Structure 1
Amino acid sequence: MVLQKFHRIAGIIVTALLLLSSCLPDGNYKTEKNYLPRDTGDGWKTSSAANQGFNEGKLNAVYDMIFDEERFITSRSLLIARNGYLVSESYLRSKEDITRKENIMGVTKSITSLLAGIAWDQGRLRSGQVIYNQIPYYFDGDRNKRDMTIDHALTMRIGLQWDQKKHTVDMFNDNRFPSSMRVVLTKPFVSEAGTEFYYNHGAPQLIMGLMQKAFGLSETDSLVHLLFDPLGLDDFTWEQHNDGLHFGGLGLHMKPRDLARIGQFILQRGWWDGVQVVSQEWLRIATTQKVAPEMTGSSAYGYYWWIDDENKAFYGKGEGGQYLYVVPDMNLVIVHTANPSVGHGYKGIEHEDFISLAGMIMDALD
């Protein structure tokens, strides 16, 4: 299989954010209300929503809401899959967006978690490993930083300062450091590793670097192929630092259908076409609470997955309203994408509004 060549475009995301390149257009923003799934030959089986247990009247209300209500004005797509079938998909701005690669922002971290699972399954990565012992040459002289473990990095508790805007720009554009790992590890020590939760894009970069070393790679391309090749995903872009590392915390662009495929892969306990790509045990570990809501100030957190205990679900979340939401007990996957950065006074989709939307979808099951 020939994969699309990855692009090393350091700074694309930052530039997009700064220039607000995805501002709302003039005129009617949403033009496509149809949500019947299409057979595109990409491997997705399609079905009517009713045949997969949905009350179609209630599902109509879901799509009416996302189409009509201003709080969802930046929504670009909403896809629902159940029992292995794509039962609905709507590309609100244009039906041609079915082939558009969306910037999934922080949902990238959840994909990084799956890559970490491959390394864990092969014995190349262990949660208790001390990071300093693996890559001491990237650290500065502050000995306080030397106790952080892979578990701390996977749970956003590395104890280093990280300003999401300023330091993310640094990671993309700071030419003082040829290594993105150095950009992260030279940030000031602020708390003992494991004691404080700081959501950031730096910790996942450490995981990418550790996996690069564990697999003996000059770049992380081959690692990404270990996940995406078996799933038949060949049309995506994952931005890289100049050091060859893909950005572990953001920078992955994929079609909404392909993001839904990853959700279905998780529902299938890491199996795809008869191959165990990621172990069921890793998926269980990664989607089990490691950080309590009291520490995150939001939902519970696993290994780069947020956990919705009330609905027995877990999800990847990205700035502006990017979601991959998985409900194993209902055999349900929900994908929502939105403009990650907008102007005209709009801030993107609020988390509470997406959770309300997901709740309506679950309530539509008869």
Structure 2
Amino acid sequence: MPARPLPSSTPAAQGVDACGVLAFLDALDSAPDIEPHSLMILRHGHLVASGWWAPYTPERPHLLYSISKSFTATAAGIAAAEGLIRLDDPVISYFPELDADITDPRSRAMLVRHVASMASGHESDTLFDARDLDREDLVRGFLLIPPTRDPGTVFAYNQPATFTLSAIVQRASGQSLTEFLRPRLLDPLGIGDVSWLCDRSGRELGFSGLHATTDAVARLGQLYLRGGVWEGERLLPEWWVTEATRPQIPNAGVMPGGDWQQGYGFKFWMSRHGYRGDGAFGQFCIVLPEQDAVIATTADTWDMQALLNLVWEHLLPAFGPAPVTGGEAADEALAERLAGLALPPAAGKPAPPEQAEAWTAAAFTPDGGVCGHVPGLTAIDLEQHTDGWTLTLTEDGHPLRVRLGETGWTVAEEPVPTAVSGGWTDPDTLVVDLAFLETPHHLDVRCSLKDRTFKASWRTDPLHGLPLRAMRAARASV
């Protein structure tokens, strides 16, 4: 059953100056290192602005990276309310099969609240060390690493801490995170299909890997803004919302960027304004209690602080105390602008006629024997059709075929949701932009006819190490 749309309103009616939102969009257009994918703004419980930069669309799930942590924390809050877990229980108490293995007193003293607040006592991320210690059970690998400080005394952004919290919820409930959240959170909020990457044992990662829509992110933010109540129904205990969104552990000087040094709650960051869930490369769920507003974004950028700076510079002042008088023209201009958002396709011309025969059925190998940031990509083959070209990217023996049209973006859903653009920059050079639409990521490909070689590199490096054919949301969802 389709989700009930969020209540909508004009910006002016909710005290939002559309000129500020337009200025934000202008700033994004001028920021060379930020590629926006979506934007939703809620004010006083109403959706006042939303837009997706084509080829991204509202209904498409997007890899949220560490906003996954905020959903995991929400599951923990619900589990705590149901008496399934307790914040002051030792972590080891949920894994009795590990009792004999975990002998370090600090590891044994670690509480649920410590892994919920990135305060396990470790001073750095333990992900790779924990995996080295136990490839099959990340919880065991994590607990085998003795914290250098007492739990609760130091912040470290530590992926296995969140994985352990998610494993506790899954162990205590006997369900996956998605199964647990479906009747308790996702259905009541009107969130449709979601999917989560899993570890080798089938446990959902918790710390990352959630694919969901921007609308889902906005609804989660609105739930927290309303203290855990949605349409008159309490979904989260008020005490959990309070605890999750206040500083549980200081982190000044630990992380780069002013908005990463304001303190950390239960899988929410404190910001210079309000608080937020965030995920790598510009996925944000920004909650502004003083402005009674929620801002959700998806994007592809290394410079997440720059994106937040633009929010503070342009969107924050746009939230006024009263309806905007005479704002109709700006509202209309904003609506028109949002409806026409689009990413420019890669520059290029049609295949040069003098080289058309040479390009047809051409094959390319990696330049210099390596392939940028895609080491398994060993060959690219090109084939011409009446309406464009097919590129076959062979990675570890597995082919991925994508279509390149004559102009603009060519979107395909199978075998992986992609959008492809590009063309010839000169008779001997083909440039292709390959966007994996259910992730933030683009693969830039350059083929040289003269050398019969190619170069391929990610604009931002995917963090899960998945092959190209798996760069999508899983289709089996609860």
Match of 1:120 in 2: 80
Kindly indicate whether residue 316 of structure 2 is the aligned counterpart of residue 353 of structure 1: no
How far, CA to CA, are the matches of 2:157 and 2:175 in structure 1?
28
Match of 1:259 in 2: 217
Q: Does the 8 Å contact 1:67/1:92 carry over to 2?
A: no
Q: Does the 8 Å contact 1:338/1:349 carry over to 2?
A: no
Q: CA deviation at 1:269?
A: 1.9
Match of 1:24 in 2: none
Q: CA deviation at 1:187?
A: 3.3
SS at match of 1:88: strand
What is the number of residues matched between the two proteins?
A: 312
Kindly indicate whether residue 205 of structure 2 is the aligned counterpart of residue 247 of structure 1: yes
SS at match of 2:120: coil
What is the CA deviation profile of residues 288-334 of structure 1, one whole-angstrom value per residue up to 9, with x for unaligned ones?
Answer: 111124364422111111112x42x1101111111100012211000
Correspondence for 1:302 among 265, 272, 278: 265
The structure-2 alpha-carbon separation of the partners of 1:101 and 1:233, relative to structure 1 and needing over 3 Å to count, comes to same
How far, CA to CA, are the matches of 1:224 and 1:99 in structure 2?
20
Match of 1:84 in 2: 45
Q: CA deviation at 1:159?
A: 2.6
Match of 2:287 in 1: 326
Q: Return the TM-score normalized by structure 2.
A: 0.60
How far, CA to CA, are the matches of 1:42 and 1:67 in structure 2?
32
What is the CA deviation profile of residues 97-126 of structure 1, one whole-angstrom value per residue up to 9, with x for unaligned ones?
Answer: 212211111111111111111011112222
How far, CA to CA, are the matches of 2:121 and 2:71 in structure 1?
23
How far, CA to CA, are the matches of 1:211 and 1:110 in structure 2?
14
| Rg (Cα) greater in structure | 2
Q: Does the 8 Å contact 1:218/1:244 carry over to 2?
A: no
How far, CA to CA, are the matches of 1:322 and 1:251 in structure 2?
12
Structure 1 window deviating more from structure 2 (322-331 vs 267-276): it is: 267-276
Match of 2:179 in 1: 222
The structure-2 alpha-carbon separation of the partners of 1:335 and 1:57, relative to structure 1 and needing over 3 Å to count, comes to same
What is the CA deviation profile of residues 201-248 of structure 1, one whole-angstrom value per residue up to 9, with x for unaligned ones?
Answer: 111111112112322x05444312222122121221112223332111
How far, CA to CA, are the matches of 1:338 and 1:263 in structure 2?
17
Give the number of the structure whose residues are more often strand, by fraction: 2
How far, CA to CA, are the matches of 2:80 and 2:3 in structure 1?
33
Give 1:119's aligned amino acid: A
Q: Does the 8 Å contact 1:197/1:295 carry over to 2?
A: no
Q: CA deviation at 1:69?
A: 2.0
Match of 1:276 in 2: 234
Correspondence for 2:61 among 78, 85, 101: 101
Kindly indicate whether residue 318 of structure 2 is the aligned counterpart of residue 364 of structure 1: yes
Give 1:353's aligned amino acid: L
Give the number of the structure whose residues are more often helix, by fraction: 1
Q: CA deviation at 1:131?
A: 1.3
Correspondence for 2:21 among 59, 62, 67: 59
User: Runs of at least 4 residues of structure 1 off by over 6 A?
Assistant: none
Q: Does the 8 Å contact 1:138/1:181 carry over to 2?
A: no
How far, CA to CA, are the matches of 1:271 and 1:242 in structure 2?
36
The structure-2 alpha-carbon separation of the partners of 1:218 and 1:118, relative to structure 1 and needing over 3 Å to count, comes to closer
Identity of aligned residues (%): 26
The structure-2 alpha-carbon separation of the partners of 1:338 and 1:98, relative to structure 1 and needing over 3 Å to count, comes to same
User: 5+ residue gaps in structure 2?
Assistant: 256-260, 321-478
Identify the structure with bigger relative contact order (alpha carbons < 8 Å, sequence gap 6+).
1
Q: CA deviation at 1:156?
A: 0.9
Q: Does the 8 Å contact 1:71/1:353 carry over to 2?
A: no
The structure-2 alpha-carbon separation of the partners of 1:50 and 1:219, relative to structure 1 and needing over 3 Å to count, comes to closer
Give 2:264's aligned amino acid: Y
1:19-58 alignment, distance < 5 Å: 42-58=4-20
How far, CA to CA, are the matches of 1:85 and 1:114 in structure 2?
23
User: 5+ residue gaps in structure 1?
Assistant: 2-39, 340-346
